Amino acid sequence: MDMQVAKKKLGLKERYALMTRDLGWDTTYQPMNKVFPQAEYEGIKIHDWSKWEDPFRLTMDAYWKYQAEKEKKLYAIIDAYAQNNGHLNVTDARYINAIKLFLNGISPLEYMAHRGFAGVGRQFPGVGTRVACLMQSLDEIRHSQTQIHAMSNYNKYYNGFHDYTTMIQRVWYLSVPRSFFDDAITAGPFEFMIAIGFSFEYVLTNLLFVPFVSGAAYNGDMGTMTFGFSAQSDEARHMTLGLECIKFMLEQDPANVPIVQRWIDKWAWRGYRVLTLVGMMMDYMLPKRVMSWKEAWEIYFEENGGALFNDLARYGIRPPKFLDQIAFDKDHISHQAWGTFYNYAAACNFHSWTPTDDEMDWLSAKYPNSFDKYYRPRLEHWREEAKKGNRFYNKTLPMLCQTCQIPMIFTEPGDPTKICYRESDYKGTKYHFCSDGCKDIFDHEPEKYIQSWLPVHQIYQGNCFNPGVDPTAPGFDALGAVLDYYNMAVGRDNLDFEGSEDQKNFEAWRGMATKNI
């Protein structure tokens, strides 16, 4: 790139002051608290909005200039990748299932982030914060659009990409990421900033975008690499917004500290649970691995998050709750999640498989405390059974956690052989949780979480069949009817990778790409 640097008449600080801070005014026809009706009800006290400043000091004109440059680069690469049949250069077709999970489970959240930041940007009385939220809102719609464009190329050739807008609303496992964002967007503006701006962006998105996207590059997927890094280039700004926002809230009034602390505890746990999916993608779904989930967790959560919480200690903030359990679980959650998706492969819009021998050895080396002892024997057993023609498909429906909506697959703190169950009674009804973390969140806001739309409950209540389906008809196939409702093609989108249409097509097309047939 050869950018022209215009001679500036004003320095960065002056430009930021004039083109951002000076854009706001106090209303006179209506009182400010009527114009910004959500600014006070959460109990956060702000005395001086002008104390908030974007340390990047990015103004809207500069924003458009750099975003345009990013878009030009991104679409040049995406076009070249598509024109060149780049999808046939990925390591092997199993990899594409990680991208299915991304499009179905993550891209819709980008769109929700766009809505969320547009919403809270409208609600903050401070102009610096509003402009930064506006930029993030635009970034997030860019992320969802560029991801949809990049992955539409895969949709031309592979199964499971065809209807993510329906699936995010209906499919059992997709309620996990969806409910996470629904939870954030239905909170007040300050809680949303801690939930998404701080906990998710600052503490957790590095785990998704940095090692996973580097992994996409390593697996030959230039399309995903380019949208991933392009999105992540905005992320640096988002993380800065999240960190500035939390420091601003803590500096404005000591009464804000306990409120913020509770949100940090809640959203660190909520985000950590959602990231289980990413752990499984890194450990099981990338044919060529960059680093293990555990290593990524150590770098980006323990080291980087540790530095962050040391820094925030001066405000009286402590690290999130349940860190001991989180530290213990890093040896386990990715394996527990993959085991679950292997079980439920009949109800998924992506394929699963048992790892190859060299992949199992890699997992043993990366997880010396857990893999050979707890997870390898089970995977080898499944592989043996599959060889005999008994590929195991679990046909029962799992119990779900009322808070994170993940099936009850996680184990007791310190004991990976025992499933963890917790429960709370509220107004005469019993609610179930996967962990102390999720129970803690429910107990503080039961009126919110009793409204959870839990896919398994909804199936049993008959709410997940297409109109006109009669569940009382003789020989009724409940799973088939649910998959119809999900708009999943049985035998095509679901089941094991071995023998799938994707596997056969990829092999045939790759063959055609290297030979004259």
Partner 1 sequence: MSTVFIALQTNDDTRPIIESIMADNPHARLNEAPAMVKIDAEGKLTVKRESIEERLGREFDLQELHINLISLSGNLDETDDELTLSWNS
Chain residues binding Fe ion by CB under 5 A are: 110, 140, 143, 401, 403-404, 434, 438
Of 100 and 273, the one with the shorter C-beta distance to Fe ion is: 273
Site size with partner 1, rule: CB under 8 A: 48
Cα separation, 275 vs 271, in Å, equals 6
Give the CB-side neighbour count of residue 254, counting CA atoms within 13 A: 2
d(CA 517, CA 513): 9
Task: Answer with the entry of partner 1, Fe ion, none that 218 interacts with (C-beta below 5 to 8 A by kind).
Answer: partner 1
**Alpha-carbon separation of residue 281 from 50, 231, 287, 320 (angstroms):** 43, 19, 10, 25
Question: Of these, 310, 356, 390, 466, which contacts partner 1 (CB under 8 A)?
Answer: 310
User: Which tokens belong to 153?
Assistant: 């190329």
Residue 80 binds to partner 1 (criterion: CB under 8 A) = no
DSSP H/E element including 225? helix 222-252
Cα separation, 486 vs 69, whole angstroms: 39
Beta bridge partners of 430: 425
- Which one of Fe ion, partner 1, none is in contact with 143 (Cβ closer than 5 to 8 A by kind)? Fe ion
Q: Which residues contact 360 (CB under 8 A, 6 or more apart)?
A: 371, 376, 379, 380
Least distance from partner 1 to the Cβ atom of residue 349, Å: 28
By beta-carbon proximity to partner 1, the closer residue of 102 and 229 is 229
Asked if residue 211 binds partner 1 (CB under 8 A), the reply is yes
Report, in Å, the least distance between residue 274 CB and Fe ion.
Answer: 10
Distance of alpha carbon 71 from alpha carbon 67, whole angstroms: 6
Cβ proximity of 246 and 198 under 8 Å: yes
> What's the one-letter identity of residue 360?
M
Q: Which stretch binds partner 1 (CB under 8 A): 25-33, 311-319, 422-430, 509-517?
A: 311-319
**Residue numbers 268-297 binding partner 1 by CB under 8 A:** 290-291
Instruction: Tell me whether residue 139 or residue 493 sits nearer to partner 1 (CB atom).
Output: 139
Q: By CB under 8 A, is residue 206 in contact with partner 1? A: yes
Least Å distance, CB 10 to partner 1, is 10
Task: For residue 73, state whether it binds partner 1 (rule: CB under 8 A).
Answer: yes
Work out whether the CA dihedral 204, 210, 213, 214 comes out positive or negative: negative
Residues 226-255 that bind partner 1 (CB under 8 A): 229, 232-233, 235-237, 239-240, 243, 247
Measure the CA–CA gap between 286 and 281, rounded to whole angstroms: 7
Picked from partner 1, Fe ion, none, the partner binding residue 55 (CB below 5 to 8 A depending on kind) is: partner 1
Beta pairing class for 429-433 and 411-412:
unpaired
Q: How far apart are CA 404 and CA 267, in angstroms?
A: 11
Which residues from 43-72 bind partner 1, rule CB under 8 A? 55-58, 62, 66, 69-70
Residue 110 near which of Fe ion, partner 1, none (CB within 5-8 Å, type-dependent)? Fe ion
What are 487's two structure tokens? 């708009």
Interface residue list for partner 1 (CB under 8 A) = 1-3, 5, 8, 11-13, 55-58, 62, 66, 69-70, 73, 206, 209-211, 213-215, 217-218, 225, 229, 232-233, 235-237, 239-240, 243, 247, 290-291, 303-304, 306-308, 310-311, 313-314
